[in-house]
Amino acid sequence: MEESTMKLNFPVDRGEFASAGKASSRIKKILQNIGLNNAFVRKVAIATYEAEMNLVIHSLGGQITISIGEGKVIIEVEDRGPGIENIELAMTEGYSTATEVIREMGFGAGMGLPNIKKCSDDLSIQSKVGEGTKMIMSFNYQ
Ligand SMILES: Nc1ncnc2c1ncn2[C@@H]1O[C@H](COP(=O)(O)OP(=O)(O)OP(=O)(O)O)[C@@H](O)[C@H]1O
Ligand SMILES: [Mg+2]
């Protein structure tokens, strides 16, 4: 992205359910304050929240970076952790490795990644087993 890009960084801790959703709600407020339309902000917020919860639940922690440029918002999500062995399988609706405890908390429907795919205009996932995962999602606006 070119010079007009604004870039902000938010850490996400593993297992931190008390503060989970903080990064995505901050990102939502930033986009609202800029004056981007509600439907667009909602799409970015949903995808970012799903990615944030995946870091809390499935990784050892990481960070979310938002870049806002002319007509485009890019969300980069990076973690250290087990990685994703089969990305295609992980993208399948209903596929989840979440434990019973996590399911009792209301997560683990296996809908996070499919939702991210639906909400974003472009999605790339790179993962190394035993190292971690990097996801880049982009959203176009008028
Ligand atoms: N950051 C990550 N690190 C390691 N594994 C991940 C990560 N994100 C997703 N996964 C794997 O992909 C699976 C599917 O993820 P997805 O977000 O679609 O569903 P979920 O998190 O299990 O449930 P839900 O998002 O509906 O609460 C997860 O169960 C997990 O096995
Ligand atoms: Mg999820």
| Whole-Å CA distances, 115 to 30, 75, 109, 129 | 22, 15, 11, 23
Ligand 1 atom with least separation from CA of 82: 4
State the pLDDT at residue 140: 98
pLDDT tens digit sequence for 12-70: 999 989 999 999 999 999 999 999 999 999 999 999 999 999 999 999 999 999 999 99
Query: What's the CA angle centered on 59, arms 137 and 65, to 5 degrees?
Result: 35
pLDDT tens digit sequence for 107-136: 999 999 999 999 999 999 999 999 999 999
State the pLDDT at residue 5: 83
Kindly give the distance from the C-alpha atom of residue 93 to the centroid of ligand 2, in angstroms, as a whole number.
11
State the pLDDT at residue 75: 98
Q: In what helix (H) or strand (E) does residue 11 lie, and over which residues does it extend?
A: strand 6-13
Is the pLDDT assigned to residue 2 strictly greater than 60? no
Residue 52 CB–ligand 1 contact under 6 Å:
no
What residue ranges define each of the domains in the chain, with the CATH number in brackets? 6-88+115-140 (3.30.565.10)
State the pLDDT at residue 1: 55
State the pLDDT at residue 41: 98
| Whole-Å CA distances, 121 to 15, 25, 115, 136 | 29, 20, 12, 11
Neighbours of ion ligand 2 (CB under 5 A): 54, 112
Is the pLDDT assigned to residue 83 strictly greater than 60? yes
